[in-house]
């Protein structure tokens, strides 16, 4: 019969037609595996090794910038505990806050909570550079400051406008104690206008002020 002949022809065509990679992949993907199966094994459990590797890679990708910034950050400056008078003075002006090591340490602690401690670290590094007089030391410290806080490849890069960056690049041809003066002023102004008001309203400042006030009353 014609029907049986067509059936035989179709069987022969199917037997001689090579299976394409796409078809093979389709068969793999439509097998008995569950929808959560991983791409390297037949199991559909969540604990297989390839999913573990994938999860580890995703976890590394989720590392935040502040975790990178925390690497290699120096300890706070050594300073005596602040007095109640000093802490009250911090509220009078940003300049008074930045004048004392205790004030800078407290402000750094706050900046760390906002993931912007690099601003204070850069400012302090510039202050340290200004104290140097040896040419080779100046050049080395300037190079380190550039790599740590100016380079776009650094996780601790500070926010500077293009004009200031151009000035720095010119100054780096012959580094001096004042190579980063414009950038330091810009970051100081940024901390003053942006971070300082929030610091004054932060729990870090208020708790310190309350603690010193209570000690003063007890004394």
User: What pLDDT, in 10s, does the model give residues 2-19?
Assistant: 445 555 545 555 555 444
Q: What's the mean pLDDT when you consider all of the chain?
A: 79
Within 10 angstroms of residue 28's Cβ, the number of other Cβ atoms is 12
Query: CATH no. for residue 97?
Result: 1.10.167.10
| Residue 98 lies inside a defined structural domain of this protein | yes
Q: What is the pTM of this model?
A: 0.66
Question: What confidence score (pLDDT) does residue 32 get?
Answer: 45
141 falls within a domain: yes
* Residue 200 forms part of a structural domain: yes
Domain total of the chain: 1
pLDDT at position 203 over 90 = yes
pLDDT value for 4? 52
In whole angstroms, how far apart are CA 133 and each of 139, 174, 176, 181? 10, 14, 9, 16
Report the share of the chain in percent with pLDDT over 90: 61
The whole-angstrom separation of Cα 116 and Cα 193 is: 14
Residue with the bigger pLDDT between 168 and 28: it is: 168
Q: Is residue 67 part of a domain?
A: no
pLDDT, average across residues 153-177: 97
Give dist(CA 163, CA 102) in Å, integer.
Answer: 33
Question: Is 131 inside a domain boundary?
Answer: yes
Is there a domain that residue 169 lies in?
A: yes
| 89-109 as b/e: b if 16+ CB within 10 A | bbeeebeebbebebbbbbbbb
Model confidence at 63: pLDDT above 60: no
> In the structure, what pLDDT confidence band is assigned to residue 68 with cuts at 50, 70 and 90?
very low
Residue 97 belongs to domain spanning: 84-216
């Amino acid at each position: 019969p014609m029907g049986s002949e067509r059936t035989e022809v179709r069987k022969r065509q199917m037997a001689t037609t090579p299976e394409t990679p796409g078809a093979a992949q389709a068969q793999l993907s439509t097998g008995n595996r569950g929808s959560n199966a991983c791409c390297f094994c037949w199991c559909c459990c969540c604990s297989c090794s390839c999913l573990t590797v994938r999860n580890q890679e995703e976890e590394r990708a989720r590392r935040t910038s502040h975790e990178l910034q925390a690497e290699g950050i120096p300890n706070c400056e050594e300073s005596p505990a602040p007095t109640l008078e000093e802490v009250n003075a911090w509220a009078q002006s940003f300049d008074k806050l930045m004048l004392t090591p205790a004030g800078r340490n407290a402000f750094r602690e706050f900046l760390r909570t906002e993931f912007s401690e690099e601003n204070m670290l850069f400012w302090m590094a510039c202050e340290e550079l200004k104290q140097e007089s040896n040419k080779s030391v100046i050049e080395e410290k300037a190079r380190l400051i550039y790599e740590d806080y100016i380079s776009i490849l650094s996780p601790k890069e500070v926010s500077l406008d293009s004009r200031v960056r151009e000035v720095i690049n010119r100054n780096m041809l012959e580094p001096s104690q004042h190579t980063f003066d414009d950038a330091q002023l810009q970051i100081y102004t940024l901390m003053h206008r942006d971070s300082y008001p929030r610091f004054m309203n932060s729990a870090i400042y208020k708790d310190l002020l309350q603690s010193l006030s209570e000690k003063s009353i007890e004394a």
